[in-house]
Structure 1
């Protein structure tokens, strides 16, 4: 459990660090100011940033809380999948450790954003950064003109998600003493089903409230 907690702590710290670097290098604060200036007065914008600075510490708590919820839920659904498809007894602690390991794949996403906008597309807006998801179907079809409820599913179809599945499949095949193919079947039937349900829910709410 100590190794799992340490790895989780490292994942949280790296996530906070990389996103802080992204914010500084891409001048996110200035972009937010420019975006808000079209709707609010200078005083209102100053009050917004004052409030943001005052409660900045909450964002550092938000990251580990959200990662804990995400990795715990994913571990839970895969644990159920292993229960039904494997005869090898696996502890939840073991599975959580490997889910945290696989989660590190998504640390590459903000790094790709930094590379894209710092070195290549140097003329950008806040919307450009928010809508850009590297190596995804969304970047192929483009977000402009796309129905809002279709943006999230196109964003989910990306190579990082594929890599995440493959890493999970490898480790599950390892701990169940089978192979990667068997691990992929477990991932698809458990995590894949849960992900499909989640995407469907997001699409439904976006469609109804956009």
Structure 2
């Protein structure tokens, strides 16, 4: 099979080093941006009153206050876990894309696909920005359930989450226009990287990332059914 960009498999050592350095710079930037969005959500959207209103009918006042105190003590946890979560997430996507590329070309790429995974993450951060602006400006009167299940431009937003089975919540959230845009960005950047048409790049993304995503969704649905 003819490859239009043979230099990919024979990068010089300096170019590989430069590529890896850029990848970690992108990684740091995306992780920092994600942390800022978490910070904004924690301090602009979530309040003690929100927790109290959600739990007061299920727990005693003392239990609710204890829960709120513990949540305050753990506000640092997402920031500590975020780099590891992003590393696993981007590495998993890069591995899926690398496997798809290897199956088609018998060549293995990882660092370029790792960088693509990081860059494409910008698309998946947009719903968090929209969510923040939505509850600050459009729907300032909200409860914890609204906050938990809101995902802009998703199929779940067309339904009442309280009427949906628990195991269907995640897949319904996942069916959204931002996910479609994410696939398109992946297909475009992959095609630019390896010199393919966008359609062929989309086919590789569907076969690699799409398969991995399907397995992940099935796993989450299985957990939801087991724990419900």
> Could you tell me which of 108, 123, 148 is aligned with 2:166?
148
Relative distance call for 1:57 and 1:24 in structure 2 (3 A) is closer
**Structure 2 residue 144 is the aligned partner of structure 1 residue 126:** yes
Tell me how far apart the structure 1 counterparts of residues 62 and 69 of structure 2 sit (CA, whole Å): 10
Q: 1:55 to 1:125 in 2, by over 3 A?
A: closer
Aligned counterpart, 1:60: 79
- Aligned counterpart, 2:34: 15
The 3 A distance-change label for structure 1 pair 121 and 54 is: closer
* Structure 2 unaligned residues grouped into runs of 5+: 1-19
Residue-by-residue CA offset, 1:24-76 (whole Å, 9 max, x unaligned)? 22234431233233334444444434433334332211111111111111110
Q: Is the 8 A contact 1:112 1:134 kept in 2?
A: yes
SS in 1 for 2:162: coil
Q: Name the TM-score, length of structure 1 as normaliser.
A: 0.91
8 Å CA contact 1:105, 1:163 repeated in 2: yes
1:102 to 110, 120, 127: 120
- 1:32–1:126: 8 Å Cα contact kept in structure 2? yes
Instruction: Answer whether contact 2:166 2:224 (CA < 8 A) is retained.
Output: yes
4+ long deviations beyond 4 Å: none
Cα RMSD, aligned residues only: 1.7
Q: Provide the rounded CA distance (Å) in 2 between the counterparts of 1:209 and 1:104.
A: 32
Return the offset for 1:3: 0.9
Please state if 1:158 is matched with 2:176: yes
Structure 1: gaps spanning 5 or more residues: none
User: Which residue of 1 is the match for residue 188 of structure 2?
Assistant: 170
Deviations 1:90-131 (A, max 9, x none): 531111001100011111111111221111122110100101
Match for residue 70 of structure 1?
A: 89
2:101 and 2:109 in contact (8 A); partners too: no
Q: Find the aligned partners of 1:136 and 1:118 in 2 and give their Cα distance.
A: 19
Of 38-47 and 126-135, deviating more is: 38-47
Match of 2:56 in 1: 37
8 Å Cα contact 1:28/1:126 also seen in 2 = no
Q: Specify which of 210, 213, 221 is matched with residue 192 of structure 1.
A: 210
Q: Distance in 1 between matches of 2:28 and 2:179?
A: 22
**Partner Cα separation in structure 1 for residue 160 and residue 210 of structure 2:** 25
Q: Report the structure number with the largest CA radius of gyration.
A: 2
